[in-house]
């Protein structure tokens, strides 16, 4: 997979932590968990883009 870097995320960071572990156990080399998930992303003021039909 070359230098592919994978960052996993979910709502709170728990499920993505399990997914990150599974990917590392499957010999993926550059995998990270987005700590805190989407909730922490929004709480820290990072940009969120929503499709117009969801506004």
Containing structural domain, residue 31: 6-44
The bridge status of strand 6-8 relative to strand 31-33 is: parallel
Domain count, the chain: 1
Q: Would 32 be classed as within a structural domain?
A: yes
CA dist., res. 9 & res. 23, Å (int): 13
Q: Would 55 be classed as within a structural domain?
A: no
**Residue 45: partners with Cβ closer than 8 Å, 6 or more residues away:** none
Q: Would 50 be classed as within a structural domain?
A: no
Of the chain, the end-to-end C-alpha distance in Å amounts to 37
Q: Are 2 and 28 in contact (CB under 8 A)?
A: no
Q: Identify whether 5 is a catalytic site residue.
A: no
Q: Give the pLDDT score at 50.
A: 82
**Active-site entry in 1, 5, 7, 10:** 10
Q: Give the pLDDT score at 53.
A: 78
| Per-residue tens of pLDDT for the chain, all 55 residues | 567 888 999 999 999 999 999 999 999 989 999 999 999 999 999 999 888 876 5
Q: Would 53 be classed as within a structural domain?
A: no
Q: Would 40 be classed as within a structural domain?
A: yes
Q: Would 49 be classed as within a structural domain?
A: no
Length of the chain: 55
Q: Give the pLDDT score at 55.
A: 57
């Amino acid at each position: 997979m070359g230098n592919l870097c994978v960052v996993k995320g979910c709502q709170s960071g728990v499920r993505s932590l399990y997914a990150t572990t599974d990917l590392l156990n499957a010999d993926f080399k550059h995998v990270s968990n987005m700590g805190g998930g989407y909730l922490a992303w929004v709480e820290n003021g990072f940009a969120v883009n929503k499709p117009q039909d969801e506004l």
